[in-house]
Amino acid sequence: MKIFNLLPKFNKTKLIQLMKKKIFIGIAVVLVLVVGRMVYGIMTTRNHSPEETVTESMGDLSVEVTYCRPFKKGRLIFGEESADALVPFGKYWRLGANDATEITFSKDVTFAGKPIAAGSYRMYAIPGADKWKVTLNSELDKFGAFQPDSELDVLSVDVPVKSNEAETEQFTIELNTTDEDVSMDFIWDKTLVSVPINLTQ
């Protein structure tokens, strides 16, 4: 502060104001760069994992799923965390990328045998080697890999894992009508998991 004492009072005030202005400009530039990087990252991620909506009807029942579709790109998809699997066994997975996956039922249904009311739900899974736990949650419109509030879970079911001979490069959710139900299939790499959906009797 001795240098300020050697300057006239007017110059000291002007110098302090100039320093504050430069600091403010520096902070503003950093914020713009950070926000720009975040926006660019989100846009790039959406390009790599495009959003898709699939629908299927059976009588009075309509089922719709909106999700984002990542690619395998030579990676280990399902497996142990120690093996650097993209989707480790026993860990939360949003069933896609980007926004949380959501499912909508036009009527009351049974979801793998358990009753669920008509409406829209966030859907996520905890994959395992032999079975997946698939959960419906009432928290909607969420982005990112953040886990939902488990207190808002509405229903959870365990469904078996099947193997496919053919390898699927891009994560796919299919809705297929059978004679008895709407089958929702999660397909990626050589893994297939099916959830039966029926109208409530």
Structural domain boundaries in the chain: 2-45, 50-199
Alpha-carbon 181 to chain mean position: 26
DSSP SS3 for 17: helix
What per-residue confidence (pLDDT) applies to 178? 85
* Binned average pLDDT, 10 residues per bin, the chain of 201 residues: 52 74 78 58 60 95 97 97 97 96 97 97 98 97 86 97 95 93 97 95 68
Cβ atoms of 97 and 117 closer than 8 Å: no
DSSP SS3 for 88: strand
- At residue 19, what are phi and psi to the nearest 5 degrees? -65, -40
Express each pLDDT in 54-94 by its tens digit.
999 998 999 999 999 999 999 999 999 999 999 999 999 99
pTM score, two decimals? 0.76
- Show Cβ contacts of residue 148 under 8 Å, excluding neighbours closer than 6 positions: 100, 122, 124, 137, 139, 142
What per-residue confidence (pLDDT) applies to 12? 67
What per-residue confidence (pLDDT) applies to 122? 97
What per-residue confidence (pLDDT) applies to 142? 87
Judged by phi (left if over 0) then psi (alpha if -120 to 50, else beta), residue 84 lies in left
Cβ atoms of 111 and 133 closer than 8 Å: no
What per-residue confidence (pLDDT) applies to 46? 54
Nearest one of 53, 56, 29, 33 to 182, comparing CA atoms? 56
